């Protein structure tokens, strides 16, 4: 690794502006009745990040770190393998910071994803199943990076900075937002793509409350985490990408929760239709995963999750089609009644909704 160097002031200002439109998301307390019981599940509203997904946090943090460590220089090409949201985040941040971006992406991801990436001037290399699908995308991105000069590869599936992004932002925000309402999380639940969210938020929450349960979610139709390898197909884009990423440490996590993709679709549809929360399919999966964990821990358990993105990237998918209900689905038993949003602004040392100095609710 090269020596750290100071950022030029113009670039430092760009990073500062980007940091104001990424992260510090509101926490929603989603209220509902389930089999006659009044319940609440908490979800970070990650669809309101700059490009509409939680991956902006990781992309911003990795680029900041790469500049600080001298791993990236002005004008370098950013090259990444992604199932979509990461490509959109790097296309956007790359453009904002003056970097060309090349994305290797499986060719079965939604049309909206590739259109969005191209709209920000990035190049896409579509990778078919015959070329190795997701693993092929990663291999081809690595080969591209090895062949060319002046390339920066974020390597989201193996980069510890992906986990740190959530350990230093998403996790503390969630903790303080719950604390400011006199709540302590009993469990955090999230679908695993790279695993950055579950590992990073999990580590922060465990540092505050060692007894907190941390449950990864995977599609029941394609249980990669519980089997250790790719199995079957599923429709929850963004999670369970055919392998267990190296940043995922299953021995630090509690039991894997399986969620059917049809139930996830029905739940995402219901969140939009009943509450106006127009979220993506993995948000529906996360909500059902959180509900399953709450069913185990007790109706009053404080269970939190994330809504990773909104529904705009799925308008051409089954999310906008009628989904048949199957035995065992939980969505039909959920009746939403409303939600409350927590977002408090620090008036002491910064203007952000959650104090960047991590001074806690006393400073807010």
Note the residues at the interface with ligand PMP (CB under 6 A): 53, 55, 83-85, 191-197, 238-239, 280, 282, 308-309
Pairing between strand 37-45 and 27-34?
antiparallel
Catalytically annotated residue among 45, 53, 83, 282: 282
Minimum distance from residue 78 beta carbon to ligand PMP (Å): 17
As a whole number of Å, the CA-based R_g of the chain is 20
Q: Which is nearer to ligand PMP, 186 or 241 (CB)?
A: 241
Catalytically annotated residue among 45, 53, 55, 283: 55
Instruction: Quote the Cα angle for 324-198-125, to 5°.
Output: 70
Q: How many helices and strands, by DSSP H and E, does the chain display? A: 11, 11
Minimum distance from residue 8 beta carbon to ligand PMP (Å): 30
Residue 243 φ then ψ, to 5°: -160, 170
Q: Which is nearer to ligand PMP, 262 or 308 (CB)?
A: 308
Alpha helices in the chain (DSSP H): 9-20, 55-68, 85-97, 111-119, 133-147, 160-165, 171-179, 196-208, 224-227, 261-275, 281-297
Question: Known catalytic residue: 292?
Answer: no
- Provide the CB-side half-sphere exposure for 135 (13 A, CA): 8
Q: Which is nearer to ligand PMP, 170 or 177 (CB)?
A: 170
Minimum distance from residue 194 beta carbon to ligand PMP (Å): 3
Minimum distance from residue 84 beta carbon to ligand PMP (Å): 6
Q: Which is nearer to ligand PMP, 271 or 346 (CB)?
A: 271
Q: Which is nearer to ligand PMP, 217 or 346 (CB)?
A: 217
SS3 assignment, position 270: helix
**Cβ partners under 8 Å of residue 244, min gap 6:** 224, 225, 228, 250
Q: Which is nearer to ligand PMP, 191 or 219 (CB)?
A: 191
Exposed, middle or buried, 193 (CB in 10 Å: 0-12/13-18/19+)?
buried
Which tokens in the block code for residue 82? Answer: 């992604």
Strand partners, 304: 42, 188
- Provide the CB-side half-sphere exposure for 247 (13 A, CA): 23
Minimum distance from residue 324 beta carbon to ligand PMP (Å): 23
**Cβ partners under 8 Å of residue 329, min gap 6:** 260, 262, 263, 266
Angle between helical axes of 281-297 and 261-275 (0-180°, round to 10): 100
Question: Known catalytic residue: 44?
Answer: no
Minimum distance from residue 70 beta carbon to ligand PMP (Å): 26
**Cβ partners under 8 Å of residue 362, min gap 6:** none
Q: Which is nearer to ligand PMP, 264 or 355 (CB)?
A: 264
Q: Which residue is associated with the tokens 């950013």?
A: 78
Minimum distance from residue 363 beta carbon to ligand PMP (Å): 28
Enzyme catalytic residues = 55, 282
């Amino acid at each position: 690794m090269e020596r750290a160097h100071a950022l030029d002031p113009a670039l430092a200002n760009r990073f500062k502006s980007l940091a104001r439109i990424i992260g510090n998301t509101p926490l929603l307390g989603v209220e509902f009745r389930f089999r006659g019981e009044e319940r609440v599940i908490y979800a970070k509203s990650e669809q309101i990040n700059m490009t509409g997904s939680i991956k902006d946090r990781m992309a911003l943090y990795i680029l900041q770190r790469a500049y600080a460590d001298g791993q990236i220089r002005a004008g370098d090409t950013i090259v990444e393998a992604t199932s979509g949201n990461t490509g959109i985040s790097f296309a956007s941040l790359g453009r904002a910071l003056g970097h060309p971006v090349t994305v290797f992406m499986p060719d079965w991801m939604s049309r909206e994803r590739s259109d969005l990436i191209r709209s920000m001037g990035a190049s896409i290399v579509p990778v078919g199943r015959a070329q190795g699908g997701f693993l092929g995308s990663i291999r081809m991105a690595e080969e591209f990076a090895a062949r060319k000069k002046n390339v920066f590869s974020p390597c989201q599936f193996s980069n510890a900075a992906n986990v740190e992004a959530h350990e230093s932002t998403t996790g503390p925000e969630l903790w303080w937002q719950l604390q400011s309402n006199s709540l302590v999380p009993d469990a955090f639940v999230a679908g695993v793509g790279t695993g950055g969210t579950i590992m990073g938020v999990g580590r922060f929450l465990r540092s505050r409350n060692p007894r907190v349960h941390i449950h990864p979610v995977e599609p029941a139709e394609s249980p990669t985490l519980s089997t250790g390898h790719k199995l079957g197909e599923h429709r929850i884009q963004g999670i369970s990408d055919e392998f267990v990423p190296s940043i995922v440490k299953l021995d630090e996590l509690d039991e894997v929760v399986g969620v059917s993709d049809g139930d996830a679709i029905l739940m995402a549809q219901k969140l939009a239709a009943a509450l106006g929360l127009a979220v993506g399919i993995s948000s529906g999966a996360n909500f059902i995963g959180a509900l399953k964990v709450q069913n185990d821990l007790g109706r009053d358990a404080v269970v939190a999750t994330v809504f990773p993105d909104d529904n705009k990237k799925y308008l051409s998918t089954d999310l906008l089609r009628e989904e048949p209900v199957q035995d065992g689905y939980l969505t039909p038993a959920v009746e939403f009644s409303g939600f409350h949003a927590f977002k408090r602004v620090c008036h002491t040392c910064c203007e952000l909704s959650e104090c960047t100095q991590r001074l806690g609710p006393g400073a807010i």
